[in-house]
Structure 1
Amino acid sequence: MKLVIIVLCLVAIVLAADKYNDLNDDFNISEVLDNERLLYSYGKCLLNNGPCTPEIKQVKEKLPEALETRCAKCTEKQKQTGKQLARELKKHHPELWKDLVAKYDPQGKHQQAFQDFLASP
């Protein structure tokens, strides 16, 4: 019986490690998108051109891996937030979008995967 409990605990730990931390899943992306000053401040952080808040620093640290793995470790909320942010930046702030793409995907190797990600429900 003890062995079963230990194995279940280990499985739970492994499954929990398969996703990014969900502590910031309540982050309101609409507040950022509706506030140009805040949006560009966060953009500067992601582009290494300005200071970072702890939340955006976490995003910045995980972004390369998330792009590489097609957001495999993202929670559903993180995926939805990422899609909303990308769509809004591409449409309303193309210069910031271009700078972010140049920084995080300079060879364009994630473009098709990212388009597929944006097209998914």
Structure 2
Amino acid sequence: MKIVILTLCLATAILAQEKYDAVDDDFDISEVLQNDRLLNSYAKCLLDKGPCTPEVKKVKDKLPEALATRCAKCTDKQKQIGKKLAQEVKNKRPELWKELVAHYDPDGKYQDAFQDYLKP
């Protein structure tokens, strides 16, 4: 019985580690989307055209893996934030969206998965 409990505890610990940190889940994406200066600054970081804040650097570092794994390690809140950000940028700043897609998916290998992700 002790082995079963120990195994369950270990499995739970491993599964918990397989998600990205939820520390930034309280991030207010609306503030970024309503502030062109802030959005442009974040975009420059993501596109390797400018400096990064520590928060955006975390996203930038994890973005290639998140795209490749369909955000398998993202928390529900991170998925919600990412979806809102992607939809807003795609609809309201198509030129920026094209730059981001060209930078992070130059071969178009994530397009089908991403279109599924963006569906309402």
TM-score by length of 1: 0.93
Q: Return the letter of the residue paired with 1:109.
A: K
Residue 24 of structure 1: SS of its match in structure 2? Answer: helix
Aligned to 1:118: 118
Alpha-carbon offset, residue 3 of structure 1 = 3.1
Alpha-carbon offset, residue 19 of structure 1: 1.1
SS of 2:118's partner is helix
**Which residue number in structure 1 is paired with residue 20 of structure 2?**
20
Pairing of 1:52-91 with structure 2 (within 5 A): 52-91=52-91
List gaps (5 residues or longer) in structure 2: none
Q: Distance in 2 between matches of 1:72 and 1:5?
A: 26
Deviation at 1:2, TM superposition (A): 4.4
Q: Which amino acid is 2:25 matched to?
A: D
2:8 & 2:29 partners in 1: Cα distance? 36
- Identical aligned residues as a percent: 68
* Residue 108 (structure 2) pairs with residue 108 (structure 1): yes
Counterpart in the other structure of 1:97? 97
In structure 1, the residue corresponding to 2:23 is in which secondary structure? coil
Q: Aligned equivalents of 2:83 and 2:6: distance in 1?
A: 38
Give the structure 2 partner of residue 45 of structure 1. Answer: 45
Displacement of 1:54 in angstroms is: 1.0
Stretches of structure 1 that go unaligned for 5 or more consecutive residues are none
Q: Pairwise CA RMSD of aligned residues?
A: 1.2
Q: Deviations over 1:72-110 (max 9, x none)?
A: 111111111111001100111111111100010000011
